[in-house]
Amino acid sequence: DGEIVFDNVSFTYDGRKPAIRGVSFRVPKGGSVALVGESGAGKSTILRLLYRFYDLKENEGRILVDGQDIRDVTQASLRKAVGVVPQDAVLFNANIAYNIGYGKLGSSLEEVEEAAKAAQMHDRIMSFPAKYETEVGERGIRLSGGEKQRVAIARTLLKNPPILLLDEATSALDTSTERDIQKALQNLVRGRSSLSIAHRLSTIANADLILVLKDGQIIEQGNHEQLLKLN
Ligand code: ADP
Ligand code: ADP
**pLDDT tens, residue by residue, 27-79:** 999 999 999 999 999 999 999 999 999 999 999 999 999 999 999 999 999 99
Query: Which residue owns the Cα nearest ligand 2 atom 25?
Result: 86
d(CA 129, CA 65): 35
Run of H or E including 47 = helix 43-50
- ipTM > 0.85, yes or no: no
What is the pTM assigned to this prediction? 0.86
Helix axes 175-189 and 109-118, enclosed angle (nearest 10): 120
Q: What's the gap in Å between 156 CA and the centre of ligand 1?
A: 25
Report the separation in Å between the CA atom of 84 and the middle of ligand 2, taken as the mean of its atom positions: 6
Which residues make Cβ contacts (< 8 Å) with residue 118, sequence separation at least 6? 154, 157, 184, 187, 188
Query: How far, in Å, CA of 151 to CA of 85, rounded?
Result: 9
What mean pLDDT is reported for the chain? 91
pLDDT of 135 reads 63
Give CA–CA dist 158/181, Å, rounded. 17
Is the pLDDT at 218 greater than 70? The verdict is yes
In angstroms, the CA 168 to CA 36 distance is 11
Question: Across-strand partners of 9?
Answer: 23
Q: Which atom of ligand 1 is nearest to the CA of 35?
A: 3
CA-nearest residue, atom 2 of ligand 2: 79
Compute the C-alpha angle 229/19/146, nearest 5°. 70
Mean pLDDT, residues 193-199 taken together: 95
Radius of gyration of the chain from its Cα atoms, rounded to whole angstroms: 18
End-to-end, the C-alpha distance of the chain in Å comes to 35
- Smallest CA separation from ligand 2 atom 16, residue: 90
Q: How far apart are CA 6 and CA 69, in angstroms?
A: 10
